[in-house]
Structures are given as structure tokens and as C-alpha cells.
Structure 1
Amino acid sequence: MKKEKELKIVILVLISILVLILSVGLGSVYIPASDIVSVLLNKLFNMPLTQSIEGSYISILWDIRLPRAFTAFFVGAALSVSGAVIQSILQNPLASSYTLGVSAGASLGAAIVITSGITSSLLGFFLLPAAGFLAGLFTVFFVIAVSGRLDHNMSNHTIILFGMVFSLFVNAILTLISALNSEHMQRLILWQMGSFSGRRWIHVAVLSVCAVLGTLIICFFVRELDIMTFGEEEAMSIGVETKKVKVFLLALATFLTGAAVCFSGIIGFVDLTIPHIVRRLFGSKHKYVIPMSFVLGGAFMAFADMLSRTVLAPQEIPVGAITALVGAPFFAYIYFRGKR
């Protein structure tokens, strides 16, 4: 059984690498894999370039496609790990950070910045991502605080219910802002549908640190996550401080989702679908679920981004539409198959 899982891990990692290579090579200009490797070796280790490589290929690869592909990978990885944690903590297959209001809060924060014309010389182009991240983080802590007042045990149903109610309220405010600021409506809609266009290496650097650091910290709590999947009473009887662990892990999951949302916009279904696929492949132990959700989620998002810019090229489809078209039917299939 262990060797079988190790083989699956190797195959999944190889598939992820192949997807990244395809997402970098395919586009309006096709670039062979050998040229991609040559450019990478030149930029990273100062090795000589293959003579057949055109100068424009270097710029396309290093300045446009590679940052975009890696941004998509780390966004998908962060969202998938976040979804796996939320589903385990709340013991609900339909739970995610979006259920707790992260997407609604982040959208509202971004909408306020876009429509008000606020600028910052200190943050620069990070102003919009920072506003979205902080608003999403505030929303989740508000949901947790109110849920704690309504239910001192902070039961899972209370958190999910109030999170959904508050999300609807925030979405209503967002709709009102969009209606009153029609000149900014197109930009608001595009941000809410998700895109990786124009991402640079600075975005990759920030996202990679957030995604890897958050995932590593969560990996220290895989035992608690395993125990909490059996229920809060069982976890408390074993000695797990469920309330403290729940709040801390919810904050970490929100951190991952907020970091992803603030650089890509709202992209759904990744955090719902990928953890289910990983559990089908590797079982329910979180020492496999967390890292494999990171790998598979990143590969899926890179693949979705590749489809978004190649299917109707040169026109680009919002990546959120691709993940919904692919993720929704697949999630329904997994869920109802499990029911049968």
C-alpha cells in the first residue's frame, strides 16, 4: 500500500511538471520544451543558450509565460490546501474559505479601492491585492467572532451558516457599489472572474512564500486534522483543544485563500474539487492530503489558465469560468458517485 502511494505521488509530480511545461510552451507562439529548458538554464545558471532560440522567445518565456504559469500554480496550490483544511475542520464536503466569506470580503475591499480611486505611493500596484486580502481576512475573523458569541462551542454548522448569511449581505453591498459606479463595472467584473494576465516575478515571489509557508505550518497539524475529522467530541476526549486549533487553522486557511485571491481575483471550485480527488487517490490521512492537494491544485490551475488563453486565442477567457466549467460537473460526479 505504501509503495502504491509512493508511485502515485511520483506520477502526480511528473504530471504537474508536464502541465507546467505545456502551459509555458503553448500559446499564440509555440515554444518547444527544449527551448524552455535552455532559457531556464541560462537565466538560473548562466549556461549558454541554444543557437536556434530567437530573441523574442526569451522575452516571451521569461517575462510573460513563466511568471504567469507559476502564479497560476501557486494560486491553485494555496486554494486547494485551504479547501482541504476547511473541509476537514468543518466536516462538510461543500465547505471552503468562500463559504466563510473570503471571496465576498475580498471583492468588497477591491471594489472600494477601484471605485474610490484611492492610491498609495508606498504599496503601488500592491494596493489592490492588499485591500482584497485584508478585507477577506477581516470578514473571516468577523464571522468567527460572531459565531463564537452565538455559539460558545463554535459548532461547525454555526460557522457555516453565519458565513453564508454574511457572504450574501456583502455581495448585496458589492452589487450596489457596481450599480452606482457603472464606469468601473467592467473592471470589477473582470476582477471577480479571475485572471493571471500581466503577472510578474514579484507576484510569483510573494505568492510562493505565502503558499509554501502556510502549507508547511499546516503540515505540523496533520495529526489534529486527522482526529478532528471524526468529530469534535472525539477530538476533545483525546485531548485536542478543538476551539484553539480550529481558529488557528481557519486563520491559516484564510491566509492562503486571501493571498491567492488578492493576486488572481475570485476563482471558484478549485478548493472544493481538488481535495476530493486527492482523498480518492490517497485516502483521508492528511500527511498525504495536504501536500498532494498543493501539487494537484497547482497543476489544475496552470492547466485551466492554459485553456483560458488558448481555446479562443487571441481572446482570453476568464480563468474562473474555466474552473467552473471543469470543476462543477466533476465535483457533482464525485459527490453523487460517493452517495451511491
Structure 2
Amino acid sequence: MIKRGVPQASLGIMLASFATSTLNQYSSSLKSWWKYCKDNNFDIFEADSSKVLSFLTLKFEEGASYNSLNTHRSALSIILGTNATVNDCVNRFLKGVYRLAPPTPKYSTTWDTNIVLNYLSTMYPYDNIELVDLSYKTCTLIAIASAQRMQTISLIKLRNISKHEQEIVIKISDLIKTSKPGACQPLIRLPFIHENPSICPALAIETYIEKTRDLRSNLPDDHLFVGVRRPHKKVCSQTLAHWVKKVMQASGIDISVFGAHSTRSASTSAAYRSGVNLEVVRKAAGWSNTSNVFLKYYRRDITSSNNNNDFVNAIFGT
């Protein structure tokens, strides 16, 4: 960036625009670009679209997917600028890749949420439940009921949880993967399912908070989920994903095929099949009102529904 005229004082601010996960993802692309330039005696910081196309063609011939090639292009844009990476030739090349090797969804099918919910219902009542079981259950119920990513669930904080007569509302104040200027932060609404308390996410959250109250006395933050073993520190999204996969495996779901992220497809598909309005499904999962992600991969017949709580009620059979 400095070679492109960025002042030294501005560099740190510009780098802050990238999420840590994005920088980690770009690192592999930039290492490949550095090796390509070294092998061909090119300047890594000076290249036109012809050299970019040669690099992308090589990666395609090595088996890189359409999505991987797009990642390479985005990474190269940081050091080369958009003149070399976003033009008619590069765009046409990627369109050709899309036709020759179109990207496919990770899951061609999804699993039935009832299988997992039936298993979780056996962990009730909560009088003598172990912390590890309650942690796994609460996390999985939130994942299914909210259709949010593990990253979002890991950011839930006690101060942002408010209990109302009919529901628990959770605000997400931290930046997430889809955060951008002008976009609304996630708002998770979990109605109390009085007809079936054994799988009620709101009741599970209440119970979990009460059971972990004494464990939080020395913690510097107020994240909802804490470790199941001492010293009970806050847990990351990878740990929550591990918890959910434990529940899926115990329920009989093939975790060699489905990961924790599949809770999003499973819950949104279940709600949509039950007749929940597409707009409600999009809102619950954090997709924009015009997003076609859901319809592209999980299209089903639909009937009318207008209540936001219909998303949870449809999944949990109320």
C-alpha cells in the first residue's frame, strides 16, 4: 500500500478495515502470488492484468475453484489495486470459470431438526443436569432457533439479553462477518415455548445463566457462554461449533457430512417448509431482503406467514 502512495500514518487505519479471518484467508493467496512472481522474475508489487490473468489461469489449472479464484483476486487488489484486478478481461475470465466449473453448495441436502430436538428433549428437567450437557443443549437450541453463525452466538453478552413476558431478546453489539456501514446488527428473538419446555431455547438460556452465575464472579467480561472446565473463561466460536457437533453426533446426524454451520440450512429449511414467509426466513438468518442465497439452495413451496416469531414456532412445532 505504501508503494501505491498510502501515507504511513494511514496504513494502520486501512488495515483495520480487514477482519482477522479475512487477512488469514488472503495470506495464502499472497504467498502463492509471491512464489509465482519469484518463479517468473516479476515484481510482486508491480503487475498488470495480463500477469494477474496468467496467475489465475495457473491456479485454475491446478484445481482452484471459482470461489478460491475470487479470493485470489481480492487479495491481489490490496497490493496491485483494482486497475489490474477488476477490469473487463479479469471479469470475463471469472465468468468463464463460473461456466466451466460452477460453484456448488457444500450441502446438497439438509438434516431434520426434529432429530436433534428429540434428543435434546431428553435432557430435561434441569434440576440435576450437568453443566457440560446444559452448555451443549443451550448453544445448539440457540443455533437452531436463531439460524445465526457460531461467530454471532459467541458474541452474545449478558448485558444485551433482555427478558420479556413472552420472549427473550438478544442484541448483538459487536461487529460480525456481515457488518457494514448502514446495516442493522442482528436481533435474536426467542419466544418462550410453554407447550414444550424441554426444548424451549428461552428457558434453556435462563437456566444456563442461573447455573453459571457463580462461575462468572472473576471473569473480566460478560459473555454468555463460558468453558465447561476451570477456569471457565469465555469460549470462542470454534468451541461452540464443537459443542453443536457433539449434539448432532449424539443425535445420529452424520458429522462427517454436516458441520455446525449446517444448523443454518437445517433450521431455515424447516421453517420454510412449514410455511414461514421468505422475508421472515431471510431476516432470521441475517440475509438481506433481496438475497437469493436461501432460494438458490433450499427452495420449497411456501404459504403465507407474517409473524417474526413464526420462524421459531415453526421449527419447534408450536
Structure number with larger C-alpha Rg: 2
| TM norm structure 2 | 0.23
TM-score (normalizing by structure 1): 0.22
Choose between structure 1 and 2: higher strand proportion. Answer: 2
Pick 1 or 2: higher relative contact order, CA cutoff 8 A, min separation 6.
1
More helix per residue: 1
